[in-house]
Structure 1
Amino acid sequence: MISWRKHYKKGLIAISLLLSTGASVYAQGDPKKGQELFKANCTACHTLDKQVIGPALGGVVDRLKTEQNLDTDWLHKWIKDNKALRESGDKYANEVFEKFNKTEMLAFPNLSDTDIDDILAYTTDPPAEEVVADAASGDAGANSTAAIEAQKAQELNSKIVIAALIAIAGLLFWLLLKIRQLVKLQQTPELSELNTTRVTNFSAMYEKYSYVGKGVVALLALFALYGVWNWLMWVGVYKGYAPEQPIYFSHKIHAGENKIDCQLCHSGAKYGKVSEIPSLNVCMNCHRSISEYKGKYIEPGKDREFYTNQIKTLYAHAGWDESKQAYTGKTEPVEWTRIHNMPDFVYFNHSQHVVAGEQTIINGFNAKQKDPANKIDVVCKACHGKIDTMNVVQMANNFTMGWCIDCHRTTEVDMNNGYNKEYFKNLHDKLKKQYGEGSKITVDAIGGLECGKCHY
């Protein structure tokens, strides 16, 4: 009996040790720290709840233990250097590599064992998401307030229109009374005699006041010519033009909220004449792993589902199968509506302005701004406006010949720029003599107003 009790106690102790050891596997990491590490290192390829480039990682520790009888030591080796693990002949490591189209996972030798334990703790027991009061709620409140204000304004407008109609009706009634009085007055003998001396038709009036008539006609002709000339001068000027695009792309979210550099997508602006519209492959570099919108910013009148649907539209055009994480080969070109389009007879080189003129254009533009809020930090904004604040891109300037010339006359040339220092090496001494030592050399001084610079 005593022996049985001893074994019973030993069994209880063993079971309790086993349970505590099992619990420590999942308690040895900090899920909150793991969440931060996961977002910083893993979200490009993984989520907890669904497959993207890599598998879903929610419950990966339990899954690996149940299906493959592998513990967290295997995960440590895989995360730190999966290539070395595969080359060692590990069967499951090679199976995973084959299953995901031989897409090699990045190695993370910089992550400590504690960091990896934190990440695994997060995948096992993720902390509850904090409720964030984002722009959506603010927008909803703003929309309701705006709706009330709009209703009040509409009611006021209705009252004004009714009052105006009553006033017009009263005026018409008064005019009818006056006309009736005039008709009665015209029937008197004195007025009949006076009417015989008055001009009663247009030809007679023109003969009597021919000089005045010719002057009025000449003045009207001048006004008409000015109107035609002014209309011709604004042909092809589309400031404010903001067409609807086949895929809704918000520069405010990408360039503004997420701080994506303009030249990451428009790489041609730095290396060529045309800045180019980025191909869908550029979009898919990010959106292979970003399949739904989770940002805080939401434009009034829209919701996160709207933005997510636009990503799905991108997938359809690019031929991306989200479930298989592979391209189908069935693509459909996106028919973007062009906004900025220089005439064929105008030569404009983006790289010349972005590389050689970057800092001077920024400095020249900012020097003209009285309001600090209008100042710019990247050269693109000097011509295209504050793109990072636009949900729908619009033409921010006139892009007329006069607008370009004015910029060339006021923008100083940076002669210490590596490009200009070499290109205008022989001109430096001549410009110093012509304009004086230390004087401001603007673009027009180096041929910025020559017709052949911009016109073929």
Structure 2
Amino acid sequence: MISWRKHYKKGLIAISLLLSTGASVYAQGDPKKGQELFKTNCTACHALDKQVIGPALGGVVDRLKKEQNLDTDWLHKWIKDNKALRASGDKYANEVFEKFNKTEMLQFPNLTDQDINDILEYTTNPPAEEPAADNAGEAANANDLASIEAAKAQQLNSKIMVAALIAIAGLLFWLLLKVRQLVKIQQSPELSELNSTRLTSFSKLYEKYSYVGKGVIALLALFAAYGVWNWLMWIGVYKGYAPEQPIYFSHKIHAGENKIDCQLCHSSAKYGKVSEIPSVNVCMNCHRAISEYKGKYIEPGKDREFYTGEIKKIYAAAGWDESKQAYTGKTTPIEWTRIHNMPDFVYFNHAQHVVAGEQAIISSFNAKQKDPANKIDVVCKACHGKIDTMNVVQMANNFTMGWCIECHRTTEVDMNNGYNKEYFKNLHDKLKKQYGEGTKITVDAIGGLECGKCHY
């Protein structure tokens, strides 16, 4: 009896060890590390809770075990080299490949077994999301404070208006008294005799003071001419112009928060004359996988649902069926409102400034800034302003001829560039002899003020 009990206890211990081992297959994975690895390697094609390009991966370990009786070894093989797994004749691997339109999954031979265990642990037990900064709450608090301040300001304005009305009433009463006094004086004989000697018409007044009148008219004509000239000079100058676009696009989120390089979307700015408006397929490169906004930054007055709704507008324009993960072929052009537009008689080449003048423009711009916060790190910002801080893009500068000329007069040519150093060597030597050793070559010295450079 004692022997039976001893063996019974050993059996229980063995079973408990086996169960604990089976339950801890994924305790060896770190879900937090897995989350980082998942974001780096998987989010372009997968999400935990829905199908994107590939299937939803939430609970994939349990699902695979229940539906296909496959363990994690199969997942390791699939993730590291799914192509080799399919080539080996694995039935389920080929079924998955056929099911998802023969879309070839990337191979990840660089991931270690531990990395894959971390990822699988994340798909099985994702850690709770850290509470994002409640920008909406902050915005609400800001709105409450703004409402309180507005109420105080309104109360102050009401008091000022009451005081002003009292003052006006007092002034009107005082004027009434003065008018009565003037009426009495008008009726006196002394004033009647004085009035007979005064000028009683404008023509007589002008005849007496004709030179003064002509001078005033000439001065008014001069002011009017200056006003018309000044108005003509500012035609086509739209600094601060920030039109509403058909799809809300925040450069602060894309270029600021997510650090997306300007030239990823505006690729022709570096090698072409014009910096084109990106086509919808450029948007879909990212938003085919990013179907809803989950970022921490939220502009005051908006919420995540608003940004997600704008992404759906991109899908509608591109003809993308999110449920089927396929294009329908029905597209709708997006009618963007152009912000920066040079006149037809002006030649401006983006490549010339972005490539040849990049370092020179950045250095010259930063040298003029007294506040370090105003300095720039990308050449685009010299003309377009700090786009990465703008929710709604606006024209940051005047873009007048004088503005361009001033830049050409103050921007030094980059002589560290091997081509410029050799090409302008003789000019540099000549300027040193003429103006001294410390002289610098600015853009105007190499033809930057020639009319034919910009007008043709």
Q: TM-score, normalised by structure 1?
A: 0.94
Q: Which residue of 1 aligns with 2:439?
A: 439
Gaps of 5+ in 2: none
Q: Which residue of 1 aligns with 2:209?
A: 209
Q: Which residue of 2 aligns with 1:106?
A: 106
- Between stretches 199-208 and 223-232, larger displacement belongs to 199-208
Deviations for 1:256-313, whole angstroms, at most 9, x for unmatched residues? 1111111111111100000111111111111111111111111111111111111111
**Cα distance in 2 for residues equivalent to 1:230 and 1:82:** 70
User: CA contact under 8 A between 1:408 and 1:448: conserved in structure 2?
Assistant: yes
Does residue 250 of the first structure (1) align with residue 258 of the second (2)?
no
Q: Which residue of 1 aligns with 2:79?
A: 79
User: CA contact under 8 A between 2:364 and 2:411: conserved in structure 1?
Assistant: yes
Change (3 A) 1:84 1:419: farther
Q: Which amino acid is 1:448 matched to? A: G
**Cα distance in 2 for residues equivalent to 1:419 and 1:309:** 50
Q: Which residue of 2 aligns with 1:295?
A: 295
Q: Which amino acid is 2:259 matched to? A: K
Structure 1 residues 113-124: aligned runs within 5 Å: 113-124=113-124
Change (3 A) 1:88 1:425: farther
Deviations for 1:102-153, whole angstroms, at most 9, x for unmatched residues? 2211111111111111111111122222223343333332222222112212
Does residue 354 of the first structure (1) align with residue 337 of the second (2)?
no
Kindly state the Cα deviation for residue 3 of structure 1 after the two structures are TM-superposed: 11
User: CA contact under 8 A between 1:356 and 1:419: conserved in structure 2?
Assistant: no
Q: Which residue of 2 aligns with 1:132?
A: 132
Q: Which residue of 1 aligns with 2:451?
A: 451
Q: How many positions carry a matched residue from both structures?
A: 456
Q: Which residue of 1 aligns with 2:389?
A: 389
Kindly state the Cα deviation for residue 438 of structure 1 after the two structures are TM-superposed: 5.5
**Cα distance in 1 for residues equivalent to 2:175 and 2:299:** 53
User: CA contact under 8 A between 1:136 and 1:297: conserved in structure 2?
Assistant: no
User: CA contact under 8 A between 1:362 and 1:378: conserved in structure 2?
Assistant: yes
User: CA contact under 8 A between 1:54 and 1:100: conserved in structure 2?
Assistant: yes
Q: Which amino acid is 2:199 matched to? A: V
**Cα distance in 1 for residues equivalent to 2:169 and 2:89:** 96
Change (3 A) 1:272 1:421: farther
Q: Which amino acid is 1:178 matched to? A: K
Identity of aligned residues (%): 89
Does residue 189 of the first structure (1) align with residue 189 of the second (2)?
yes
Q: Which amino acid is 2:30 matched to? A: D
Kindly state the Cα deviation for residue 168 of structure 1 after the two structures are TM-superposed: 1.9
**Cα distance in 2 for residues equivalent to 1:323 and 1:418:** 55
Kindly state the Cα deviation for residue 50 of structure 1 after the two structures are TM-superposed: 0.7
Q: Which residue of 2 aligns with 1:97?
A: 97
SS of aligned partner of 2:441: coil
Q: Which residue of 2 aligns with 1:172?
A: 172
Q: Which amino acid is 2:164 matched to? A: A
SS of aligned partner of 1:399: coil
- Between stretches 397-406 and 24-33, larger displacement belongs to 24-33
Kindly state the Cα deviation for residue 369 of structure 1 after the two structures are TM-superposed: 0.6
User: CA contact under 8 A between 1:268 and 1:274: conserved in structure 2?
Assistant: yes
**Cα distance in 2 for residues equivalent to 1:349 and 1:359:** 16
Deviations for 1:299-357, whole angstroms, at most 9, x for unmatched residues? 11111111111111111111111111111111111111111110000000000000000
**Cα distance in 1 for residues equivalent to 2:260 and 2:12:** 59
Does residue 36 of the first structure (1) align with residue 36 of the second (2)?
yes
Q: TM-score, normalised by structure 2?
A: 0.94
Gaps of 5+ in 1: none
